[in-house]
DNA sequence: TGTACATCAGTGAACGCGCGTTCACTGATGTAC
DNA sequence: TGTACATCAGTGAACGCGCGTTCACTGATGTAC
């Protein structure tokens, strides 16, 4: 057999990782197959030995993005926390200026949500599964209330989306800061 | 003088209106100049007699979209309402299944926010001005609290973005419904 | 241990196509006489 | 009232370019002898 057994698998994973970052940063449509392959140290032609087409890569890139961003923002270092303590810590991460200015390492929902809505069913199915799982993971941490978790996720996503689109650092900070406030406190 | 004096102005406005709808529905990058002009009953070549380039049209299309969607969802028929009554009515409109399934007539923030974040400064400046004005209009209706208005807008935007991306009607409805709940009630 | 071979991951030229933009022009119009 | 003219909104061919995808091939590798 030519090449080590896991060689192709490693290459595949490298393409998915680079794509996942480029899609979140530049957008799906705006990132061409040759740029993608170049970022993985390969050339255009090899792409179709790994993926049926570009949309199939988007589906895998979404899975990878959710894996990475859920771990980074909702779990790593937050293992012991629940309820309000977890909520404050997770909100601080999701609504941080770091997350605002580094979409390539962040949640795929604000960066790719609109493009996913216009993507083939295969892509939307992956997004659906992962977004729902993310919502449920939030619910688990805040006393199991899925409706409250839904509101929280929606607010996080909207805040990051708007903060990134806005061309005014102070306004962006103001938006993130306002949304960091817990619902409980917000209502007095 | 050739042609009625307002002829060019009317054509210009028609292009902006069609572009505003197509951009919201299909995305900015995904909508080509010839499709845009065709939708306005014209041909490709005339475009540059109206706009410096495609990004300049995006800026005008955003203004138009904000005008239209703010009127439709926050004002029309809601003139007498303030506080909780206005909040309930506006939330119902923004988080309606109609708004979810007709992005071409809806708010530009969930449909174009991510592309605006990657657009030239001229486009982002227009978006900033209009998004801030929208937030302030919400604040005026709910006792002047701009931070609360920011949270409300972020939640609305996130909810519609996610509900559109998700490939599951029931889940989409669940998301919109959960986000319809007023913050006050949400916190008990 | 050294060589010949079979495998297949990756190459790069080529496909047809649509992109944003430019430009020489056409032809519908209001005005002047 | 009817004709000639000047204006300029809109046309459509052309520009170079990058897109997603295909395919005949190359060459690095592990295995067999």
- Residue (of A165, A178, A185) closest to A95 by Cα position: A178
- Using the C1' atom of nucleotide C13, identify the protein residue whose alpha carbon is closest: A45
pTM of the model: 0.96
CB atoms within 10 A of CB A66: 21
Cβ-nearest to A117 among B121, B147, B164? B164
Percent of chain A beyond pLDDT 90?
93
d(CA B177, CA A144): 17
Does any strand D atom come closer than 7 Å to the Cβ of A5? no
Cβ-nearest to A125 among B157, B164, B167? B167
Average pLDDT, chain A: 95
C-beta separation of A167 from B125 below 8 A: yes
d(CA B47, CA B60): 14
pLDDT tens digits along B99-120: 999 999 999 999 999 999 999 9
Give the CA-to-C1' distance from A21 to C22 in angstroms: 36
- Residue (of B151, B113, B27) closest to A162 by Cα position: B113
Answer whether B55 touches A (CB < 8 Å).
Answer: no
pLDDT tens digits along A133-168: 999 999 999 999 999 999 999 999 999 999 999 999
d(CA B73, CA B90): 6
d(CA B184, CA B188): 7
Answer whether B150 touches A (CB < 8 Å).
Answer: yes
How far is Cα of residue A167 from the mean position of the Cα atoms in its chain? Answer: 22
d(CA A103, CA A101): 6
State residue A183's pLDDT score: 63
C-alpha triplet B10, B12, B17: angle, nearest 5° = 95
Answer whether A171 touches B (CB < 8 Å).
Answer: yes
Pairs of CB atoms within 8 A across A/B: 183
Give the CA-to-C1' distance from B7 to C29 in angstroms: 11
The more confident residue out of B161 and A5 is B161
Helix, coil or strand: residue A106: coil
pLDDT at B187 over 50: no
pLDDT tens digits along A22-32: 999 999 999 99
Tokens encoding B164: 């559109």
pLDDT at A182 over 80: no
**What sections of A71-188 are H helices per DSSP?**
83-94, 97-101, 108-117, 121-141, 146-165, 169-180, 183-186
């Amino acid at each position: 057999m030519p090449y080590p057994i896991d060689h192709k698998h490693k290459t595949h994973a490298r393409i998915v990782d680079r794509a996942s970052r480029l899609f979140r940063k530049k957008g799906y449509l705006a990132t061409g197959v040759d740029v993608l392959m170049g970022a993985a140290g390969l050339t255009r032609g090899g792409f179709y030995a790994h993926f049926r087409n570009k949309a199939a890569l988007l589906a895998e890139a979404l899975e990878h993005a959710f894996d990475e961003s859920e771990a980074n923002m909702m779990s790593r270092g937050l293992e012991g926390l629940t309820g309000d303590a977890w909520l404050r810590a997770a909100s601080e991460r999701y609504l941080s200026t770091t997350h605002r200015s580094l979409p390539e390492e962040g949640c795929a929902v604000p960066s790719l949500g609109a493009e996913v809505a216009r993507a083939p069913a295969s892509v939307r199915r992956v997004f659906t599964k992962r977004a729902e799982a993310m919502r449920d993971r939030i619910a688990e941490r805040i006393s199991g209330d899925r409706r409250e978790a839904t509101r929280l996720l929606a607010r996080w996503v909207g805040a990051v989306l708007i903060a990134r689109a806005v061309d005014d650092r102070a306004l962006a900070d103001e938006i993130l800061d306002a949304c960091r406030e817990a619902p409980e406190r917000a209502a007095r």
